[in-house]
Every structure is written in C-alpha cells, then in structure tokens.
Amino acid sequence: MFLPPPPFALRKMTLADLDGALAIDRLSFPTPAKRAMYIHELTGNPLAHYQVLARMGGRTDSIIGYAGYWVLADEQHISAVAVHPDWRRQGWGELLLLHMLLQAYEHPVNLSTLEVRRRNLAAQSLYGKYRFEVAGERKGYYKDTGDDAILMTAAPLDAPYFQFLQTQWDGLAGRLR
C-alpha cells in the first residue's frame, strides 16, 4: 500500500481544506487561484481529482501540500502541485506527483500530461525523473506573467511504468521516514 509515513496523510481534498490550500497557492504562484475555482473543482467538476498532504496531530490537520488532476478522455492532465515553502525540498512535492501518477491507474488513461513554466527548472527536473518528456510549448501561456509553458507528457501508463512507479515509491518512502 502506498502511504506516507506518520504523522502525514494523503487524502481527498474537501471544502474544509480550502483555507490551507489557498494559503499554499498564494505562496506558490504569481497569480493565486480564486476560492470559487476550487469550489467548482471539488463540487461541480466530475473530471477533477484533488488531494491534500496533511500533517496529522492536535485538533486539526495542517495542510502542507496539495495536488490535482483532471481525467480527459484517455489522459490524466496534472493541473496543480504545490507545497508550502516550509516543507519544500524534502520530497513532499515528489510524493504528491507520484501519488497522482499511481492514481492514474484507477482510470482508463494511457498518458499523463502537464504544463510547467519554462523557468521552473526544479519542477521540470522532477517531472523528468518520472519520465515526462517535452512534447511542445505554449507561448505566453501564463497570462499573469506572459511566461511560456513547456508541455510535458509521460506515456504509456502501462505495466512497466507502474513497476517503475512502485520502485520510485519504495525509494521515496525510505527517504521520507
């Protein structure tokens, strides 16, 4: 089973998680998403799947990261991966990405895609580690800054790739303990 080490938990994002997710969003992106967008994603978009990474303990969970994807035809489209700055560079973003890729096997999809800012080299490196390859670019894709997007794709999501993900999970779990 693929679980983060205690006291951390991965779970489906709920409306109660929005304050924590929006706080991370504000710290992570030049133009944060609006609350209404997440409400729609969680309550009105059957294609959307969002999760949070929480540190359990005390009276409330502390959200330290979140991620989301859409299932479009035979594609998993990763829409967001964000970790609170205090928790970055410790493997938590990788855990969120890996968990989403494993969740893809619950849907009839053949590939996973995402866009990443051209200057976000750290994210591109992580995606490359998970065998995402550059499939194209989108000039001026990010309207807030005018940044170009790199379109990256991992395919096929077949049995050998699943085996690769399991191996990655074993290594990551060991580092996070």
- Annotated catalytic residues are 115, 127
CB 148, CB 128: distance < 8 Å: no
Give the distance, in angstroms, between the CA of residue 40 and the centroid of all CA atoms in the same chain.
Answer: 18
The DSSP 8-state label assigned to residue 13 in this structure reads -
d(CA 14, CA 68): 12
CB 118, CB 150: distance < 8 Å: yes
Give the distance, in angstroms, between the CA of residue 127 and the centroid of all CA atoms in the same chain.
Answer: 11
